[in-house]
Amino acid sequence: MSSDPAAPGPEASREELLAAGEALRRRVAELEQEKRDLEVMLETAAEHADHVSEALETERNDLATMLEMTTEHADTVEDELHERAAAALLKSAQELRMIVEATPAPVIIVRLADGEIVYVNAMMGALFRTDASDMIGRNAVDLYYDAAERESVIRTLREERSVDRQEVRFKRYDGTLIWVEISLRILDFNDEPSVLSALHDITARKEDEQRLQQQVEALRLELEETSSHAELARSTGTTRFENLDAAVVRRGSTDLVAVHSFRGGNGKSSIAANVAVLLAAAGQRVGLLDADLQSPGVHLLLGQSGKDLGHTLDDFLLGNCRIDELAIDVTGKLGQHVDGKLFLIPASVNPGTMAQILSQGYDAQRLTQSLYELGELLGLDTLLIDTHPGLNEEALLIMRAVQTLVVVLRPDKQDFEGTGVTVQVARQLEVPRILLVANQIAQTSQLHAVRSRMQKTFNCEVAAVIPHSTELMSFEEEGAFVLRHPDHPVTMALQLVAQATKGATVRGQAPRDAAQQ
């Protein structure tokens, strides 16, 4: 301990010594008090440390308990989510089965990895004439008539992820052939990549097509066996076919186009009139000659009444008028301005004149000569000739004279057979160009099929396939249908006919349905 600067020296008095002793006692008391305070603080600190340690231990235990509870809860939540997912998957599978079972089409699900059938609906079993459950577990390749067809379908499915309405051959388990249209999609079924296929039975259609093809081949053989001699033309008409030899064939600057049909009621005259209008609208000078002397009617389609016709083709053939008195300029009757000209050469609707021409006949040379003279007289680019249906004298004479023959038909058995004979006759008469036009097709989905059938049957150029139109059938407006309805499907098809007869672009544009035709 350091010396106290207040301690008395040797010479200090008694009072000073007593005071120093008293100060020393106070100092000792202070130190003892400090010692006691330090002991208390030390004891308190130790107690607090114990308390903190206990608190930390408790907190650690609480955290461990919470972690354990959280882990258990997470496991519970995971199990619950898994159960929910499994339930949703089961519900989805059940709903898929319900939908598929209610679908009025055969449906099959096949595992993609190995081709095993994992599901079929009742319609699929009915198609294969077996119980649907008996098909489960079998391999899908056994359903195909040719295993290579399945390989092709699956390859397309893998590349494009879908297949739509592909025609394939299936076979029942008894070996019976079935034609189907099949559409496929990839999906997960029972947690495995699978193929969902929907089928449409087209066996009956394919059998009909085969029968039709056999009929077509039979007709082709029959036509090929027909004599190639010109006597064929003479044997199919009605009167005086020696006129064919009298008719002189020569070519002028006017394109002569005959519009013909084997039977009436095919819309031949309407096609001829509207094609003439389209050609005039394209800037041509066009003539339309009504050579249907037995049942004329083209004039009505161009806004002319029978009483206003003046001189007719019948009058000229009977020698009662000059050829320059026949043509009627009907351009102003078309209802719209056109860049070209349209002339009508009508046939008589007078009963007396019609009876006279039928009873006494006419000079064949005069008929064919009139075609060339009219073309030169009127400066025509094209002369369209509406013939009488069938293989009569007028039709054969005109066929021999024209450069192009347009044959109009409907796609039924009678028209196909009659058109076959007409085409064969035209070839024997050496008509340079024969065009086919199918008219009044009820189903627009069949346009392409009708075109293909005609080309295979007759081996001729098909100018157009025209859909049925109630608007055209009931057309009573002034002017021409094709000008009043330029965007109508029938007008588009008739544009193809006009182009085919001349090779020109009608109305300055290609027809919008050319690709569909």
Give dist(CA 172, CA 183) in Å, integer.
19
Q: Do the Cβ atoms of 343 and 380 come closer than 8 Å?
A: yes
Residue 239 scores a pLDDT above 60: no
Q: 201 with 106: CB under 8 angstroms?
A: yes
pLDDT (average), residues 134-151:
92
Residue 209 has pLDDT above 50, yes or no: yes
* Nearest one of 110, 113, 182 to 142, comparing CA atoms: 110
- The arithmetic mean of pLDDT across residues 30-37, rounded, is 81
Which one is predicted more confidently, 303 or 331?
331
Give the pLDDT of residue 289.
93
Per-residue tokens: 493: 């098809």
Predicted confidence band of residue 170 (pLDDT cuts 50, 70, 90) = very high
pLDDT of amino acid 169: 95
User: Is the pLDDT reported for residue 300 higher than 80?
Assistant: yes
pLDDT band, residue 470 (cuts 50/70/90): confident
Do the bridges between strand 192-201 and strand 107-111 make them parallel or antiparallel, or are there none, so unpaired?
antiparallel
**CATH 3.40.50.300 correct for 214-508:** yes
- On the question of pLDDT at 123 being above 80, the answer is yes
List pLDDT tens digits, range 435-446. 999 998 877 677
Structure confidence at residue 284 as a pLDDT band (50, 70, 90) = very high
For residue 235, is pLDDT > 50? no
pLDDT grade for 132, boundaries at 50, 70 and 90:
confident
What is the pLDDT, as a whole number, of residue 514?
35
pLDDT for 271 beyond 90: yes
Segment 137-166 mean pLDDT: 91
Per-range mean pLDDT, top range of 28-37, 81-90, 428-437: 428-437
Of all residues in the chain, what percent carry a pLDDT higher than 90?
29
Average pLDDT, the chain: 80
Check: CB of residue 480 under 8 Å from CB of residue 488.
no
CATH of 103-201, one of 1.20.1740.10, 3.30.450.20, 3.40.462.10, 3.60.20.10: 3.30.450.20
Average pLDDT over residues 165-189: 91
The whole-number pLDDT of residue 504 equals 39
Which region among 61-70, 168-177, 492-501 has the lowest average model confidence (pLDDT)?
61-70
Q: Does the pLDDT value for residue 433 go beyond 90?
A: yes
Strand, helix or coil at 500?
helix
In whole angstroms, what is the distance from residue 205 CA to residue 210 CA?
Answer: 9
Average pLDDT over residues 332-340: 88
pLDDT at 41 (0 to 100): 78
**Strand bridging mode 404-409 / 192-201:** unpaired
Residue extents of the structural domains in the chain:
53-99, 103-201, 214-508
Q: How confident is the model at residue 195 (pLDDT cuts 50, 70, 90)?
A: very high
Q: Closest by alpha carbon to 115, among 202, 198, 168, 192?
A: 192
Q: Between residues 24 and 59, which one has the greater pLDDT? A: 24
pLDDT tens per residue, range 62-121: 777 777 776 666 666 666 666 766 666 556 666 656 665 666 789 999 999 999 999 998
**For residues 454-480, average pLDDT:** 83
Pairing of strands 404-409, 285-290: unpaired
The pTM for the full model equals: 0.53
What integer is the mean pLDDT of 508-516?
36
d(CA 393, CA 238): 7
CATH topology agreement for domains 103-201 and 214-508 = no
pLDDT band at 1 (very low <50, low <70, confident <90, very high): very low
Given a cut of 80, whether residue 372 has pLDDT beyond it is yes
Please write the tens of the pLDDT for every residue from 398-422: 888 899 999 999 888 888 888 888 9
Give residue 496's identity as a one-letter amino acid code. L
